[in-house]
Structure 1
Amino acid sequence: MAAILRAAFGYCFLIFTVRVVGRRPGKQMTPFEFVLIFFIGGLMLTAMVGDEASLTNAIGQIMTIAIMHYGIAWLRQRSPRFASMTDGTPLVLLEKGQWRIGTMFNSRITDDDVMAAARDKGLSQLAQVEYAILERNGEISIVSGDR
């Protein structure tokens, strides 16, 4: 019964913590925010099933991570340089019909991925795409143009 109560409390505590720390839709989350969510979930899970099922330790660890996240988010707002270090910068994959092969290779993006994003925007031909940009959140933005 104690494990069930710990799980219920842990769930409510995590919901509260994520609400306080910040929220964005899943498609707009940065890798930085995904790490936060998985990490605090793992900390709570360890408190539930680990050798030492201490809810106090889990809460302390999660609060530490939440405060660190808040501080880093504050720094990201104040320093564009720090923000680019934690979130990255948008990368141009296609510019006026020219593929940026090196960027695509390093990002592990194929031309099929770019064309899938173009089709999502209603474009059926490469000639209709002016720019394809890999955004910080991992989405590919398509800018159409008349060429």
Structure 2
Amino acid sequence: MFSFDWHRFFLNDLSITFLGEVAVRVLFAYIVVFLFLKVSGRRGIRQLSLFELVIILTLGSASGDVTFYDDVPVLPVAMVFLVLLVLYRFTTFLTARSSRVARWVEGEVITLIQDGLYVLDSLDGLNISEDEFFMELRQEGVEHLGQIRLALIELDGDISAYYYDREEVRPGLSVLPPQHRQDYTCVPADGLYACNHCGETQRLQAQQQLSCPRCQRNLWSLALTTQRAR
């Protein structure tokens, strides 16, 4: 095999019509990756926009293979880049001119916590790991939901939180890990408890079992009233 074999470099043993098949393959991959990311939820995207991640994932294999393997011709890879560029431009064109398309493709900012309570429609409709969410709140110095006036999930999956002033903090659901938060279906003593699902607080008596009037769940933990550390 000789270096700089231009026939092998551009097409190898492939027909020129194969470039059309490549275009269809790229369209298929673009749609599949996009739908997967839509279904899996925005928390997996984080610092990248949905389209940036789609482009990176779809281009990754094509751009890597052509640099290392001598049997991967250049023209099909160039077709991958060209088709993805066209798809990207077309999608951004649609989202810029239609708010309905933009909402479907990019999603909307979602209110997750309001007035120290989970927004039930948002909580039940999102693919969110509570452990990861609570971890992020703890890293911001949050100990319980009663310290939070408003929490939003942004388009990239990041959380924006706005807090009560220290004197306005209300009792709320603890965000501490299980070893620091006891959960009960039958509470051991009189006190103020928070529903582990929605954050609703109720004053319960010892040995009382109660379904939350807001979400109908029956797991409770002691509501906290501490002020935010910072």
Does 2:96 align with 1:83? no
Q: SS in structure 2 opposite 1:67?
A: helix
Q: Give the conservation status (yes or no) of the 8 Å contact 2:109–2:155.
A: yes
Identify the residue that residue 69 of structure 1 maps to in structure 2.
88
Does 2:74 align with 1:42? no
| Greater radius of gyration (CA) | 2
TM-score normalised according to structure 2 size: 0.46
Q: CA deviation at 1:66?
A: 1.5
Distance 1:41 1:110 in 2: 28
Structure with the higher helix share, 1 or 2: 1
Distance 2:71 2:124 in 1: 44
| Paired residue type of 2:152 | I
Identify the residue that residue 33 of structure 1 maps to in structure 2.
52
| Paired residue type of 2:104 | M
Distance 1:107 1:114 in 2: 12
Q: Which has the higher contact order (CA 8 A, sep 6+)?
A: 1
Q: Which runs of 5+ in 2 are unaligned?
A: 10-44, 169-230
Q: Which runs of 5+ in 1 are unaligned?
A: 7-25
Identify the residue that residue 55 of structure 1 maps to in structure 2.
74
Q: CA RMSD in A?
A: 2.9
| Paired residue type of 1:71 | F
Distance 1:86 1:67 in 2: 17
| Paired residue type of 1:125 | H
Aligned residues: 125
TM-score normalised according to structure 1 size: 0.67
Q: Give the conservation status (yes or no) of the 8 Å contact 1:90–1:135.
A: yes
1:97 paired residue among 98, 116, 124: 116
Does 2:143 align with 1:115? no
